[in-house]
């Protein structure tokens, strides 16, 4: 078998016959099968498909008992598929069958996965603006927040080399719509060759969409989780820095107001205490797995952290001074810019020197 096409359906009775017909036209020169995975659609999609099976031997039907999500439906179809190459698509004509040969060509030209993409050159989508906004924002977040190389990460129109599915599709992936992003992210992380092929995404032909606000929330939650996972060290480092500011301020206040010390002297004590505080938190938490446990190597790391931090303090004051005096920027704004510069310096300096991998 050369090609399997997997189509999840829930209430697609009006679309399914013309869709299967169009797909068959696109594939007539190959050996192929079309697998419909239906979740007991109340509109009778499954009965319709079994009637069509009488004249179309290539048409297969998987009937599931209840609506269990587009992601789990795809995985079920993938398990059934016998083709060397597997295409996944929606049943509502949003993924026009005329692009199936382009997806297949891309895999035959060497890609492991071909993604039908709305966001590459010549790609487009015809559906209303309000349905495009979130995927477009998402696309930027994935690209710049996760360094994700695929522009259309939620696309449900793809062709896979069979081995990729055997390797990467298991039930730890989500069942709902965020399956699309989650599975592709895993495929990219595993180093497969993923290529985007331009498609024009069209308005659903008949019936109602199933994507809900809850699915949007789940998609956003998935992104948030991945973002935290990928950026856990700088986020923890920043959180530790924030507690350090609180420690610094409290000591400065206490020594000056309660013990009547000169404020610059209080500040020196406050700075050094907060550096040690930050070091301990970062050593036990942010960079927990790097570095040896002996007292000696801990002290060495403290020394390095201290040097980076004191240099950072110097950078802070210099940037604040230069931006305020020479660039004429309001000093509180300069201070924020200075803090950002120091954060970057401290983070990079300590990753490279204090806690190298
Ligand atoms: N079997 C089954 N079970 N099929 C389902 C289920 C389910 O729980 N939920 C949805 N489907 C089917 C629909 O019948 C349709 O064929 C396809 O999955 C897509 O559903 P739509 O309701 O048309 O969703 P959409 O147009 O918002 O989805 C598009 O955008 C998503 C996110 O950008 C598609 O491209 C999706 O593949 C994509 O994930
Ligand atoms: Mn749709």
Which residues crowd ion ligand 2, with CB under 5 Å?
Answer: 92, 94, 204
Q: Is 156 in the pocket of ligand 1 (CB under 6 A)?
A: yes
| Separation of CA 159 and ligand 2 centre (Å) | 18
Q: Which of 155, 210, 222 is the best mutation target for the ligand 1 pocket, counting ligand atoms within 8 Å of the beta carbon and taking the most? A: 210
Neighbours of 13 (CB within 10 A): 19
Nearest ligand to the CA of 154 is 1
Among the candidates 210, 230, 250, a domain finishes at 230
* Number of domains the chain is built from: 2
Q: How far is it, in rounded angstroms, from Cα 186 to Cα 229?
A: 14
Mean residue pLDDT of the chain comes to: 95
Residue pLDDT, tens place only, 303-348? 999 999 999 999 999 999 999 999 999 999 999 999 999 999 999 9
For 79, how many CA atoms within 13 A lie in the half-sphere containing its CB?
10
Contacts with 311 (C-beta within 8 Å, 6 or more apart), sequence order: 345, 349
Statement to judge: residues 93 and 242 lie in one domain: no
For residue 208, give the ligand 1 atom closest to its CA.
Answer: 22
Neighbours of 333 (CB within 10 A): 12
Q: How far is it, in rounded angstroms, from Cα 170 to Cα 225?
A: 19
Statement to judge: residues 225 and 244 lie in one domain: no
CA 233, chain centre distance (Å): 17
Q: What are the b/e assignments for 258-284, b being 16+ CB within 10 Å?
A: eeebeeeebbeebbebbbebbbebbbe
Q: Is 134 in the pocket of ligand 1 (CB under 6 A)?
A: no
Among the candidates 230, 264, 286, a domain finishes at 230
| Separation of CA 94 and ligand 2 centre (Å) | 6
Decide: 26 and 98 in contact? Cβ < 8 Å.
yes
| Separation of CA 69 and ligand 1 centre (Å) | 8
Statement to judge: residues 143 and 55 lie in one domain: yes
Among the candidates 213, 230, 247, a domain finishes at 230
Statement to judge: residues 47 and 180 lie in one domain: yes
Please measure the distance between the N-terminal and C-terminal CA atoms of the chain and give it in whole angstroms: 47
Nearest Cα neighbor of 94 from 118, 121, 76 is 118
- In this structure, the residue with its CA closest to atom 17 of ligand 1 is 90
Statement to judge: residues 133 and 8 lie in one domain: yes
Quote the pLDDT of residue 226: 93
Nearest Cα neighbor of 60 from 45, 72, 70, 50 is 50
Statement to judge: residues 254 and 345 lie in one domain: yes
Q: Is 91 in the pocket of ligand 1 (CB under 6 A)?
A: yes
| Separation of CA 82 and ligand 2 centre (Å) | 26
Range of the domain at 218: 3-230
Nearest Cα neighbor of 34 from 45, 51, 22, 47 is 22
Statement to judge: residues 184 and 327 lie in one domain: no
| Separation of CA 233 and ligand 2 centre (Å) | 38
Statement to judge: residues 210 and 300 lie in one domain: no
Statement to judge: residues 144 and 83 lie in one domain: yes
Q: Is 70 in the pocket of ligand 1 (CB under 6 A)?
A: yes
The pairing of beta strand 85-88 with beta strand 158-161 = antiparallel
Q: How far is it, in rounded angstroms, from Cα 254 to Cα 272?
A: 15
Q: What is the CATH number of the domain that holds 13?
A: 3.90.550.10
Statement to judge: residues 250 and 176 lie in one domain: no
Tell me the pLDDT of the chain (357 aa) as tens digits. Answer: 999 999 999 999 999 999 999 999 999 999 999 999 999 999 999 999 999 999 999 999 999 999 999 999 999 999 999 999 999 999 999 999 999 999 999 999 999 999 999 988 877 777 777 777 888 888 889 988 898 999 999 999 999 999 999 999 999 999 999 999 999 999 999 999 999 999 999 999 999 999 899 999 999 999 999 999 999 999 999 999 999 999 999 999 999 999 999 999 999 999 999 999 999 999 999 999 777 889 999 999 999 999 999 999 999 999 999 999 999 999 999 999 999 999 999 999 999 999 998
Q: Which of 36, 90, 205 is the best mutation target for the ligand 1 pocket, counting ligand atoms within 8 Å of the beta carbon and taking the most? A: 90
| 344: DSSP letter | H
Statement to judge: residues 213 and 243 lie in one domain: no
- In this structure, the residue with its CA closest to atom 7 of ligand 1 is 69
Statement to judge: residues 258 and 221 lie in one domain: no
| Separation of CA 225 and ligand 1 centre (Å) | 23
pTM of the predicted structure, to 2 decimals = 0.82
């Amino acid at each position: 078998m050369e090609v399997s096409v997997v189509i999840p359906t829930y209430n697609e009775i009006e679309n399914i016959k013309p869709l299967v017909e169009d797909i068959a036209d696109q594939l007539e020169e190959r050996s192929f099968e079309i697998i419909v995975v239906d979740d007991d659609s109340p509109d009778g999609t499954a009965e319709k498909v079994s009637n069509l099976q009488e004249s179309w031997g290539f048409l297969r039907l998987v009937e599931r008992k209840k609506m269990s999500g587009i992601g789990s439906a795809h995985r079920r179809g993938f398990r059934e598929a016998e083709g060397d190459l597997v295409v996944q698509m929606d049943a509502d004509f949003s993924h026009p069958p005329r692009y199936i040969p382009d997806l297949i060509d891309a895999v035959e030209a060497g890609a492991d996965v071909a993604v039908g993409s709305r966001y590459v050159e010549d790609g487009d989508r015809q559906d209303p603006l309000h349905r495009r906004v979130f995927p477009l924002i998402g696309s930027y977040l994935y690209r710049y927040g996760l360094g994700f190389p695929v522009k259309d990460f939620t696309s449900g129109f793809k062709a896979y080399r069979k081995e990729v599915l055997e390797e990467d599709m298991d039930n730890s992936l989500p069942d709902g719509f965020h399956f699309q992003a989650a599975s592709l992210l895993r495929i990219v992380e595993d180093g497969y060759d993923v290529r985007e092929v331009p498609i024009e995404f069209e308005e659903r032909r008949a019936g109602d969409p199933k994507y809900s606000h809850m699915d949007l929330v789940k998609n956003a939650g998935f992104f948030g989780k991945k973002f935290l996972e990928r950026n856990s060290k700088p986020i923890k480092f920043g959180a530790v820095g924030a507690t350090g500011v609180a420690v610094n301020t409290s000591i400065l206040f206490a020594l000056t107001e309660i013990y009547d010390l000169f404020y610059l002297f209080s500040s020196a004590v406050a700075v050094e205490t907060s550096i040690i505080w930050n070091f301990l938190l970062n050593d036990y938490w942010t960079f927990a797995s790097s570095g040896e446990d002996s007292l000696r190597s801990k002290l060495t790391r403290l020394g390095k952290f201290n040097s980076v931090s004191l240099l950072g303090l110097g950078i802070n004051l210099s940037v604040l001074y230069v931006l305020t005096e020479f660039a004429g920027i309001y000093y509180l704004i300069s201070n924020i810019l200075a803090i950002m510069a120091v954060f970057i310096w401290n983070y990079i300096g300590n990753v490279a020197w204090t806690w190298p991998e």
